[in-house]
Amino acid sequence: MKRVVILASGNGSLAQAIIENAKELDVQILAIISDQPKAFVLERAKAADIATQIVEMKKDRKSWDLDLLALLRMLNPDLVICAGFMRLLSFETVSEFRIINSHPALLPNFPGAHAVRDALAAGVNTTGTTIHWVDAGVDTGEIIAQESVEIESTDSEDSLHERIKIVERRLYVQTLRELLPTLEGSRG
């Protein structure tokens, strides 16, 4: 059984998809960590009897980085799963842990926090979602999996994002199903 930690900042629909498939994925979710104390993902975790931790952003970014790194070291996961976590991770953190993320665009197109808006503004016909390894850049890590989503003429940013999220949840679980067995035993 692989040991994972989920990092999330918001509603937690991606985390919920992983929670619902944890048994089939043969994972133990050690904790859900959020930088937002009122994030709904924490309620989802509590409902599933999963430990939660809050690491609120501080004025001193280095101090926040060190707090998160210390918590991850204590938990010692085989994999860290970013599921809507809206913070960049320090070089030390991405160097020490295996971390994956999902992004609502077909990387390398439209990196950053406004991928759906950027795709619509660019007038492209297709966007999608990407599961990738996290490195020290912004959405620059090696791509693991991608799936396209056609942009409809009636799409707003919200409607397109919701359609991407449906694909993203399925692709994340599918990617974990394929990736987790390939990970060597626990770190450290």
Per residue in 154-165, pLDDT tens?
A: 999 999 999 999
- CB proximity list for 56: less than 8 A, separation 6 or greater: 35, 36, 37, 64
> What pLDDT, on a 0 to 100 scale, did the predictor assign at position 184?
79
What is the distance between the alpha carbons of residues 99 and 12, in angstroms, rounded to a whole number?
Answer: 18
**What pTM, to 2 d.p., does this model score?**
0.95
pLDDT digits (tens, 9 = 90+) for 103-154: 999 999 999 999 999 999 999 999 999 999 999 999 999 999 999 999 999 9
Segment 28-44 shows an average pLDDT of 98
| Strand 99-103 relative to strand 126-133, pairing | antiparallel
Q: Which of 103, 114, 132, 161 is catalytic?
A: 103
Q: Look up 114 and say whether it is catalytic.
A: no
- 56: pLDDT strictly greater than 80: yes
Neighbour-count burial of 30, counting CB atoms closer than 10 A to its CB (0-12 exposed, 13-18 middle, 19+ buried): buried
- Domains of the chain with CATH codes: 2-106+129-148+167-182 (3.40.50.170)
Among 81, 187, 93, 185, which Cα is nearest to 131's? 81
> What pLDDT, on a 0 to 100 scale, did the predictor assign at position 188?
41
